[in-house]
Amino acid sequence: MKRIFCLLLALLLVCGLCACGKQAPKDDKPDKGGDTTAAADTPTTESEGDATSTTATAGAGTTTEAEDTTIGTKAPSTTGTKKPTSTTKKDDGEKKTINILTIGGAEARDSVWNHLQEMLKGAGYNVYVGQLLVFDKDLEFHCDAIKKDSAVYSYWHTDPRAQWAGKDNVSPVYTLKLEDWDYIVIQQSPAKAGLPESYAKRGEMTELIKKHCGDAEIYWNMTWAFRRQSKQTGFDKYSHNERLMYETVVATTIKQVMQDNHIMGIIPTGTTIQNLRTSALRDELTSDGVRLTSDYGSYAAALTWYCALTGESATDVAYRPDKIKTHFAELAEAADNAMNAPNVVTPTAAGSGEYKDLRILSIGHSFSLDAMKTYMWDLFDAAGYNVTIGYLYYPSCNLEQHWHYINEGRAAYEQYGKNTNGEWQVQQNVDALTALYDEDWDIVTFQPDPDYGHDVSYACQWGCNKTIDSDYVHFNQLVDKVQSLLASTDNPHGPNTDVKFYYHLTWTWRADCYLYHYSGGHDQLSLYQAFIDATNKNILPNKKILGVIPCNTTIQNARTTWMGDTFNAEGSNDGYHLNDKGDLAAALTWVSYFTGVEAADIHYKTSYSDAEWTAIQEAVDNAIKNPQKVTQSKYTTQP
């Protein structure tokens, strides 16, 4: 018996010496203190998206088992999660050690770069994360790189001197043997994740990993669908349909990944993201339709990894950055639901997951375009609406002109533009019926001319009888005409008798605008009040006008912030059209006004600072609450 016991000990010793991580060259190994260049910055990245198909024989190079029908239900891991007690070690301080290596591109980087370390440390783990990164490459590339041991990777790893340290031109085989890895996580590039033919070398890749690092457990990171209006290459493979892409990725993961005995579990990141898209966050999870944002998107992915690799609940995560705290409940709920039901979407408690349909047509001029052209579709999308936006445009066109053009059926309009999927399609030189009969519109808006000729002061156009008579005399007939055309049996969508009419009230000029020379000495606030008075007198008595979109008050509210009078083009240019920041404020006003969602609850990634975005949201919410009164902002000092 003793002899057998000794033989067993000897065998275990030999196996231990051959285990993963023991053959790494001691003189070239970046230890936990790090001897590579320390850096906290992210590596240079390229967008994912190559969707070129390859001829495949699924499952090559691996032992397969009976095909499963769900993610995360294959032996030996029954749930797709794995508590680290079987693979992690105890340090002297009784902390658990967990070593994770990822092999991939942006999909791997976004999942672990910002938050995973802190989550695991907060739960009592000593964590070491390595990333073999090369961007815009698929599973076949990574398999060939490991097989040929091509030094094509950047290797980034956690480092006590900075969040990350790294170096380029690293060998994958060297890295596989560099540490005693507990988990090695692989994935397919997002654009190809739903294409079964692109998984031909999955089995060969996992065989190679086990050959070089037999003790590590291989996990699969199921990536996420592109957001609805993404322009990424490869989205056409899924008919530019976010939900179809998600479902295809899930089905492909079940068929192509779950049969691989070397893969011990699935990290259902894509399901977490899809779950969250049913919440108020909507698509505030990706920055370009694909890459996860560094806050909500990456945090959600890291939560999923945390749950999958520890077996613990997301609700127990103590690491919660300030920006995350407000939405932590939804984030944790989405991750836990993904772990419990990894191959279906589970709506969050705070969201139904259903987008509402809305179709809006504006009859106006360049000020309508300021509000509509740049941000409006994206903001409606963020608020949970499948929106179709149309505009009928003639430059500087007043209400009286619109009446004549539409009543006479003239093809006088320079443009008719429509946006149904985040992109504008524009027709030139059209009549009003081209726009009116193009969709079954829910809402039609009207807008007055902001510059009715320089021979009459702008203030007079709104506040004196001459301008009121000339610009509003046929307004009621204009509304009636549009209503009758939409309700006609000639309407190809059928008589539209449910359309609702609104009025778009625009902003006063920037204080240094040259047009103030024509304003009879009126200052900005006097002009603002003249706009409101004229609207009350000439527009609101028409009971077919159900409301006024208060863009004028939004802009005036925003001018009371520390940003001041910076929402129009510079005075040396024109001073009355909105600049990009003004466009954002005006578009947000429309979206909040028509959806009923407070601006503060619309989550959208802008190019402006969080402080600027918050101040704009406040200006919009105050304008909708008090549409005929300027509300002083509480944000008077620049952060």
Spatial neighbors of 106 by CB under 8 A, at least 6 apart, are 45, 46, 47, 48, 135, 136, 190, 290, 291
Whether 160 has a pLDDT exceeding 90, the answer reads no
List the single range of 226-240, 490-504, 561-575, 620-634 with lowest mean pLDDT: 561-575
DSSP single-letter state for residue 286 = B
Report CA 521 to chain centroid distance, whole Å: 46
- Calculate the average pLDDT of the chain: 82
CB contact at 8 A, 101 and 170? no
Q: What is the pLDDT of residues 73-98, one digit of tens each?
A: 343 333 343 333 333 443 445 568 89
Which residue has tokens 């049913």? 278
What integer pLDDT is reported at residue 455 of this predicted model? 38
CATH architecture, domain 357-625 = 3-Layer(aba) Sandwich (3.40)
Q: What is the pLDDT of residues 184-211, one digit of tens each?
A: 999 999 999 999 999 999 999 999 999 9
Residues 45-79: b if buried by 16+ CB within 10 A, e if exposed:
eebbbbbeeeebebbebbeeeeeeeebbbbeebee
- Where are the CATH 3.40.50.1110 domain residues in the chain? 37-43+81-268, 357-625
Whether 153 has a pLDDT exceeding 80, the answer reads yes
- Is omega for the bond preceding 76 within 30 degrees of 0, making it cis? yes
Whether 473 has a pLDDT exceeding 90, the answer reads no
Spatial neighbors of 502 by CB under 8 A, at least 6 apart, are 443, 444, 445, 446, 545, 546, 547, 548, 549
What integer pLDDT is reported at residue 289 of this predicted model? 65
| Whole-number Å distance between alpha carbons of 167 and 154 | 6
CB contact at 8 A, 144 and 117? no
Tell me which residue of 373, 355, 486 sits closest to 419, measured CA to CA. 373
Which residue has tokens 């003639």? 394
Give CATH for domain 37-43+81-268: 3.40.50.1110
Band of residue 306 on the pLDDT scale cut at 50, 70, 90:
very high
What integer pLDDT is reported at residue 164 of this predicted model? 72
Please name every residue paired with 357 in a beta bridge, in sequence order, or none if there are none. Answer: 386
Q: What number of H helices and E strands is found in the chain?
A: 22, 16
Average pLDDT over residues 209-225: 94
Band of residue 44 on the pLDDT scale cut at 50, 70, 90:
very low
DSSP single-letter state for residue 485 = H
Report CA 249 to chain centroid distance, whole Å: 19
Whether 507 has a pLDDT exceeding 80, the answer reads yes
What integer pLDDT is reported at residue 218 of this predicted model? 97
Higher pLDDT, 563 or 537: 563
What integer pLDDT is reported at residue 261 of this predicted model? 93
| Whole-number Å distance between alpha carbons of 470 and 231 | 46
CB contact at 8 A, 617 and 588? yes
What integer pLDDT is reported at residue 352 of this predicted model? 59
Which of the listed ranges 274-283, 284-293, 605-614, 619-628 does the model predict with the highest average pLDDT?
A: 619-628
Average pLDDT over residues 546-555: 97
What integer pLDDT is reported at residue 353 of this predicted model? 58
| Whole-number Å distance between alpha carbons of 153 and 145 | 9
Whether 581 has a pLDDT exceeding 80, the answer reads yes
List the single range of 157-166, 232-241, 387-396, 439-448 with lowest mean pLDDT: 157-166
CB contact at 8 A, 186 and 199? no
Q: What is the three-class DSSP state of 530? A: helix
What six digits make up the tokens of 17? 């010496």
Share of the chain above pLDDT 90, in %: 56
Which H or E element spans position 276? helix 269-276
What integer pLDDT is reported at residue 111 of this predicted model? 87
List the single range of 115-119, 516-520, 542-546 with lowest mean pLDDT: 516-520
List the single range of 46-55, 152-161, 219-228, 442-451 with lowest mean pLDDT: 46-55
What integer pLDDT is reported at residue 114 of this predicted model? 84
List the single range of 69-83, 238-252, 441-455 with lowest mean pLDDT: 69-83
Whether 514 has a pLDDT exceeding 80, the answer reads no
Whether 519 has a pLDDT exceeding 80, the answer reads no
Phi, psi dihedrals of residue 264, rounded to the nearest 5°:
-90, -15
Band of residue 175 on the pLDDT scale cut at 50, 70, 90:
very high
| Whole-number Å distance between alpha carbons of 553 and 506 | 8
| Whole-number Å distance between alpha carbons of 536 and 293 | 44
| Whole-number Å distance between alpha carbons of 547 and 554 | 15
Average pLDDT over residues 424-452: 90
